[in-house]
Chain A
Amino acid sequence: MNLAWVSANWPRIWDLTVQHALIALVPVVLSLVIAVPIGWASHRSRLARRTLLPFSSILYAVPSLPLFVLLPVILGTRILDPVNVVVALTVYGVALLVRTAADAFDTVGLATRDDALAHGHSPGQVFWRVALPLAGPALLAGLRVVSASTLSLVSVGALIGVPSLGYFFTDGYRRAFPTEIWVGIIGTVVLAAVFDLVLVAIGRVLLPWVRATDRTRA
């Protein structure tokens, strides 16, 4: 590990870390926003479950590199446009999260939903005030997986020239310079840890009953 190189290149490392984080952040947020309605539909309708869930599993099986190369053709974007990576990673995130979301809604007790209806929640209020918050803990667990997976997949974008910490892998490998590769690895791991901590913190704020009731059971 050549620390002199690290300090000499710090501004570049910081710059690529920020880019990496931004490219990862958008797909993580979009995955949640897109997967929740699809998961809800799959929970509500047998037809949706039979079509949407297998389709999302197939999407996840598409290899990432060809997808990065293919998307500019489909979307009409430039090959170096970060949008390609963002769209591809959103596809993977949604694929990962849809089944979790459907299962999360399944676990919200029928009795609880029935009770909410009987007390005068409209169907929309049942979703926003009851089903979504109660699915929250499982959705959060799924989102943490999506976040880690997305942060590591962003690196692949470096192969098609979209700047991220992945650049240090390709460049370090090309120059046979292990320090650079280590910087890429450590940077990605640290980013993944930070994302995870932020998600957990958001969960604590939005899902306060989870901790309170866990303490009771323990």
Chain B
Amino acid sequence: MNKEPMFHMSKRESITLGKRIMIYVAAILLALIVCAAVIVGLVHMNPLGVYKAIFDGALGSSRRIWITIRDTLVLLCIAVGLAPAFKMRFWNIGAEGQVLIGGVVSAACMIYLSDKVPNVVLILLMLAGSAIGGLIWGLIPTFFKAHWNTNETLFTLMMNYVAMQVVTFCICFWENPKGSNSVGIINQATQAGWLPSVAGNAYFWNVVIVTILTVAMFIYLKYSKQGYEVAVVGESDSTARYAGINVSKVMLRTMAISGAICGIAGFILVSGSAHTISTSTANGRGFTAIIVAWMAKFNTFIMILIAFGLVFMEKGATQIASQYGLNENASSIMLGIILFFLLGAEFFINYKIERNRK
């Protein structure tokens, strides 16, 4: 009876940056080995060939490099938007919906206003409109959370599907050609409302907008008074209240920012890359971004690395799948495996395991 276990674990007080990085690197290496094993098992490919194909798929040509960058930017933008909400421990699972609503507003502007206002005004209107759309979509659940403590995880989750139906509702009116049940490329001839190419680079403005947001969010969370309030509310509701912080106000303000940035991500998707809208415009990025924001512990610069890493693997896996005529969902499996390992790695960062001494 009552045998002492061999090990016991305890919470770490702190951890050095070097150790933290080492743990993550170890997790990623393990994940890559498992991923390669899965791929080798499925398609009998030489394991080294797997890594080469992944690299090729993500960075093999300048076109592929830019697609990888483009997708990284969108994922990063959503994650940056989620950062303040999650830091406040407000479980905004509704990014997918907020992105879609932002995208719908952008598309609506492109369709209805393209021949009424000059292009610059149009794009600014789209930007503002998508931000407001995402903001409203984010504020609805927050209003109920702030006043009646309604569970925000489940509320925001449901809002995603309402947003999807809003999109399909709009597609009924916008479909082009009629009967195709899709919107097609909007303003293909005039390119009105498209973020313009600069020096031949179609994604210049995407880079600019997301970079500004990333840096601004870092400063906001780390150095502003409001960012500090977010952190206090995240630590403990009661502490915040005793310190004289108006918790409802902080909650509403933070989610307004969060929703607006997610809405802007929708704008970037519609105006800056897809030039169309469908229910799969967000394509699960709203969910993946949650994981990015969480892993990076709300540090927006670390998010760049994580977002890039995930998109890199996704593109690579898609490449392998197409080489072998398998379907592209292979990339979700890889993504899942990597995430499992990264999530598991967090344990070793937060806790230490020691051998029990007699």
B and A form one assembly: no
